[in-house]
Amino acid sequence: MVITRFAPSPTGELHIGGARTALFNYLYSKNQNGKFLLRIEDTDKERSKKIYEDQIINSLNWLGINFDDKAFYQSKNIQKHIDIAEKLYENNFAYKCYCTQDELDKKRETAKSNNINYLYDGTCRELKENRDLPYVIRLKVEKNKKITLYDGVQGNIEIDTNTIEDFILLRSDNTPTYNLSAAVDDNLMNITHVIRGDDHKINALKQILIFQYMKWKIPKYFHVPLIHSENGKKLSKRDNASTTEDYKKIGILPVALRNYLLRLGWSYKDKEIFSDEESIKYFNLKNIGKSPSKLDFERIKSLNEFYIKNLDEKILIENFILYTKFYKKNLDSNSIDIITKNINILKNKAKTLEDIYVNSSFIFDYQQIKNAVNSKNKTYLNQFLEEIKKLNSYDYEKISNISENIVKKNNIKFKDLGQPLRLILTGLTQAPSIKDIIKILGINEAVNRINYHIN
pLDDT at residue number 128: 85
Nearest to 26 by CA among 14, 17, 38: 38
Q: What's the Cα-to-Cα distance from 166 to each of 169, 209, 343, rounded to whole Å?
A: 9, 11, 62
* Residue where a domain terminates, one of 150, 179, 208: 179
pLDDT at residue number 266: 96
Residues 1-38: tens digit of each pLDDT: 999 999 999 999 999 999 999 999 999 999 999 999 99
Q: How large a percentage of the chain has pLDDT more than 70?
A: 98
| Degrees, nearest 5: CA angle 307-309-314 | 85
Q: Please count the structural domains in the chain.
A: 2
Determine, yes or no, domain membership for 258. Answer: no
What is the mean pLDDT of the segment spanning 280-294? 94
What is the mean pLDDT of the segment spanning 337-354? 96
Q: How many helices (H) and strands (E) does the chain have?
A: 19, 12
Determine, yes or no, domain membership for 103. Answer: yes
Determine, yes or no, domain membership for 281. Answer: no
pLDDT at residue number 430: 81
The domain spanning residue 402 has which CATH number?
1.10.10.350
Nearest to 279 by CA among 259, 265, 299: 259
Determine, yes or no, domain membership for 234. Answer: no
Nearest to 8 by CA among 82, 62, 73: 73
Residues 108-150: tens digit of each pLDDT: 999 899 899 999 999 999 998 899 999 999 999 999 998 888 9
* Residue where a domain terminates, one of 135, 153, 179: 179
Q: Which of the four pLDDT bands, split at 50, 70 and 90, describes residue 238?
A: low
Distance, in Å, from the CA atom of 446 to the CA atom of 240, rounded to the nearest integer, reads 40
Determine, yes or no, domain membership for 202. Answer: no
pLDDT at residue number 375: 85
What is the mean pLDDT of the segment spanning 194-205? 93
The chain-wide mean pLDDT, for the chain, equals 94
pLDDT at residue number 254: 97
pLDDT at residue number 179: 97
Strand-pair category, 220-224 with 94-97? unpaired
Compute, in degrees rounded to 10, the torsion defined by CA atoms 358, 364, 370, 371: 70
Q: Which of the four pLDDT bands, split at 50, 70 and 90, describes residue 239?
A: low
pTM score above 0.85 = yes
The domain spanning residue 158 has which CATH number?
3.90.800.10
* Residue where a domain terminates, one of 179, 210, 243: 179
Determine, yes or no, domain membership for 156. Answer: yes
Q: Which of the four pLDDT bands, split at 50, 70 and 90, describes residue 369?
A: confident
DSSP string, 288-329: B-SSPEE--HHHHHHHHHHHHHHS-HHHHHHHHHHHHHHHS-
pLDDT at residue number 237: 56
Report the sign of the C-alpha dihedral through residues 320, 326, 329, 331, in that order.
Answer: positive
35 near 68, Cβ under 8 Å? Answer: yes
Residue 115 sits in which domain range?
A: 77-179
Determine, yes or no, domain membership for 230. Answer: no
Determine, yes or no, domain membership for 140. Answer: yes
